[in-house]
Amino acid sequence: MSLIEKLTDFSSIHWWLDALDIILVLFIIFQLYKFVRGTAALRIFVGAIAIYTIWKTTDYLNMELLHEILGQFIGVGVIALIVVFQQEIRKFLLLIASPKIYNRFLLTKWMFYLKKHHEKEEASFIKPVVDACESMAGQKIGALIVISKENELDMYKSLGEPINANLSSLLLESIFTKESPLHDGAVLINNNKIVAARCVLPISDRQDIPGQLGLRHRAAIGITEQSSAIAVVVSEQNGRISVCKGGKLTNNVSIKRLNQLINFLPE
Residue 54 or residue 117, greater confidence: 54
Residue 81 lies in a domain: yes
What is the distance, to the nearest Å, from the Cα of residue 99 to the centroid of all Cα atoms in its chain?
12
CA–CA dist 2, 35 (Å, integer): 48
Residue 113 lies in a domain: no
CA–CA dist 111, 113 (Å, integer): 5
Per-residue pLDDT, averaged over 163-172, amounts to: 91
Core vs surface per residue 52-80: b (16+ CB within 10 A) or e: eeebeebeeeeeeeebeebeeeeeebeee
**pLDDT, tens digit (0-9, with 9 covering 90-100), for 4-31:** 454 455 555 566 777 888 888 888 777 7
Distances (CA, A) of 53 to 58, 67, 74, 89, 162: 9, 11, 11, 21, 51
CA–CA dist 93, 85 (Å, integer): 12
Instruction: Kindly give the pairing relationship between strand 241-245 and strand 230-234.
Output: antiparallel
Shared domain for 8 and 128, answered yes or no, is: no
The structural domain count of the chain equals 2
Residue 154 lies in a domain: yes
End-to-end, the C-alpha distance of the chain in Å comes to 51
> In the predicted model, is pLDDT for residue 105 greater than 50?
no
Q: 11-25, 58-72, 123-137, 198-212 — which is least confidently predicted?
A: 11-25
The answer to whether the Cα torsion of 258, 217, 152, 40 is positive or negative is positive
For the stretch 251-259, contacts whose Cβ atoms lie closer than 8 Å and that sit 24 or more positions apart, written own/partner, are 255/130, 255/133, 255/134, 258/130, 258/133, 258/232, 259/126, 259/130
Element (H, E) at 241: strand 241-245
CA–CA dist 174, 187 (Å, integer): 12
Shared domain for 129 and 76, answered yes or no, is: no
| Geometric angle at alpha carbon 179, from 174 and 182, rounded to 5° | 65
Shared domain for 122 and 85, answered yes or no, is: no
CA–CA dist 42, 76 (Å, integer): 20
Shared domain for 184 and 243, answered yes or no, is: yes
CB atoms < 10 A from the CB of 215, how many?
A: 13
Contact 92, 81 (CB under 8 A): no
Shared domain for 63 and 146, answered yes or no, is: no
| Angle between helical axes of 64-84 and 41-60 (0-180°, round to 10) | 160
Local confidence band at 98 (pLDDT 50, 70, 90 cut-offs): low
Cross-strand pairs, 136: none
Shared domain for 13 and 142, answered yes or no, is: no
Shared domain for 190 and 86, answered yes or no, is: no
Residue 71 lies in a domain: yes
Shared domain for 253 and 124, answered yes or no, is: yes
Range of the domain at 87: 3-97
Shared domain for 158 and 252, answered yes or no, is: yes
Instruction: Kindly give the pairing relationship between strand 143-148 and strand 161-166.
Output: unpaired
Residue 112 lies in a domain: no
Shared domain for 29 and 130, answered yes or no, is: no
Distances (CA, A) of 215 to 12, 132, 194, 202: 57, 21, 22, 10
**pLDDT, tens digit (0-9, with 9 covering 90-100), for 40-72:** 566 777 777 788 888 888 888 888 888 888 887
Local confidence band at 131 (pLDDT 50, 70, 90 cut-offs): very high
